[in-house]
Structure 1
Amino acid sequence: MAFCNKVGGLIRRQCTSSSSRGPTPMIHMFNVVRHASTSKLFVGGLSYGTDDMSLKEAFNCFGTVVEGFVGTKVITDRDSGRSKGFGFVSFEDSESAKSALSGMDGQELHGRSIRVSFANDRPSGGFRGGYGGGAGGFGGSGGY
Structure 2
Amino acid sequence: MGRVKDHRCLFLKNVPYNATEEDIRKVFRRAVAIRFPGGAKGPSQGIAFVEFKNKAVAEEMLKKKQKAQLQGRDLIVARVQRRAVTNADSKKAKGCSVKGTTLFVSGLTDETTAETLQAAFDGAVAARVAVDKNTGASKRFGFVEFDSEESCRAAKDDMEDCEIDGSKVTVTYAVSKEEGSARPPSGEKLQGERRRHAAEVIKLRS
Q: TM-score range by the shorter chain?
A: 0.5 to 0.7
Does the 8 Å contact 1:44/1:85 carry over to 2? Answer: yes
- Contact (CA 8 Å) 1:104, 1:116: kept in 2 or not? yes
Runs (5+) with no aligned partner, structure 1: 1-24, 127-144
Out of 99, 110, 116, which is 1:37 matched to?
99
- In structure 1, the residue matched to 2:112 is 50
Higher relative contact order (CA 8 A, sep 6+): 1
CA distance in 1, matches of 2:137, 2:89: 36
Deviations 1:35-94 (A, max 9, x none): 3321100000001100111111111xx22x22xxxx211000111111001000000111
Contact 2:105 2:142 in 1 (8 A): yes
The structure with the larger Rg is 1
How do 1:93-108 residues align onto structure 2 when only pairs under 5 Å count?
Answer: 93-108=148-163
Q: TM-score, normalised by structure 1?
A: 0.58
Q: Is the 8 A contact 1:43 1:116 kept in 2?
A: yes
Distance in 1, Cα, partners of 2:99 & 2:167 = 26
Tell me the distance in 2 between the aligned counterparts of 1:85 and 1:55: 11
Tell me the CA shift for residue 34 of structure 1. 2.8
TM-score after normalising by structure 2: 0.41
The corresponding residue for 2:130 is 75
What 5-or-longer segments of structure 2 have no aligned partner?
A: 1-86, 182-206
Backbone CA RMSD of aligned residues? 2.4
33 and 81 in structure 1: CA distance in 2 versus 1, 3 angstrom threshold: same
2:160–2:171 Cα contact (<8 Å) kept: yes
d(CA) in 2 for partners of 1:87 and 1:111? 16
Aligned residue for 1:21?
A: none
Conserved in 2, the CA contact under 8 Å of 1:105 and 1:117?
no
State the aligned residue count. 94
